[in-house]
Amino acid sequence: MRAAVVPIEDLEKQAGSWPALARGFAVTSQEQLQLAANHLKDIKALRGQIAETFDPIDRAQIEARRVTIAQRKKIEGPLVEAQDLLNRKVSEYALEVERRARVERERIEREARERREAEERAARAERMRIEEEQRAQRLRAEESARQERERAEAEARKLRQAGERDAAERREREAEERARAAAVEAEKTQQRLAEDARVAAELEQEAAATPLPVAPLAPVVRAAGVTLREVWKYEVTDLPALVAGVVAGTVPIEALQPAEQFIGATVRAMKGACRWPGVRVYADKSVAAR
């Protein structure tokens, strides 16, 4: 036979008196321990009466809530499906727009980089060509001067041997004048080539320093009535590496949270044998009234 349900007001009055009694109670003897056990049994009995009063109400509310949730899911289900489909399609479109913009940006940057490298190579090749021409012209001038000097000296010797001293001296003066004129002309050529080399070097430096063009950003995807926002997510792909980052100080320790359920189950199974670093294992006492 089911006991009569106690009015809620009476339950509230009876329950309200217990905290004051518990605060003023002390367990210092066997008699007080037994009295405390009796009090715990009385509290358990009173909580049983409270459960008999409120459990039917809770069950009715839970059932009503369950029915409401089921009806709502049934009605909203097609809308949720349609919303998810459209959201996914919009997101895929936005990602595709970004992908195309990224490909275009990479193409522009690659072509600009290739053009700059080609300009650098061309300027460097021109500078090296001019420098090589400088060396070749200097060698030609030196060789021409040497041949002219040897030829003049040979002719002067023949003239002296023939007794024509004045003609020999005249020939030597003519050779010296031609050598000076050739040296002046060679110096002019060297100066011109040096200026050309300087210009080529400047062009080479300008080509190397030319900044790459700023590639266009991805167009903003907009539609009236909706807002597209970027949501950053994460996936832990290497837990040991993450732990190593925390140890090294490059990752905040907040990135790792203790697995309370796993640690608790392990401690309850191993009890005092659990000796994990950073975990204090201890036993607490709980009281159960029968």
Q: With 80 as the cut, is the pLDDT of residue 1 above it? A: no
The answer, yes or no, to whether residue 2 has pLDDT greater than 60, is: no
Taking residues 155-170, report their average pLDDT.
Answer: 76
For residues 242 and 180, give the distance between their C-alpha atoms in angstroms, rounded to a whole number. 79
Chain centroid to CA 103: how far?
19
The three-class DSSP label of residue 97 is helix
CA atoms within 13 A on the CB side of 6: 16
Distance set, CA 81 to CA 18, 47, 67, 70, 75 (Å): 53, 45, 21, 16, 11
Q: How many Å apart are CA 92 and CA 89, to the nearest integer?
A: 5
Percent of all residues in the chain with a pLDDT value above 90, rounded to a whole number = 31
pLDDT over 80 (residue 286):
no
Residue type, 164: E
CA 289 from centroid of its chain's CA atoms: 58
Quote the mean pLDDT of the chain.
83
How many of the other CB atoms lie within 10 Å of CB of 228? 13
What's the whole-model pTM score?
0.49
Residue 226's DSSP bridge partners are: 223
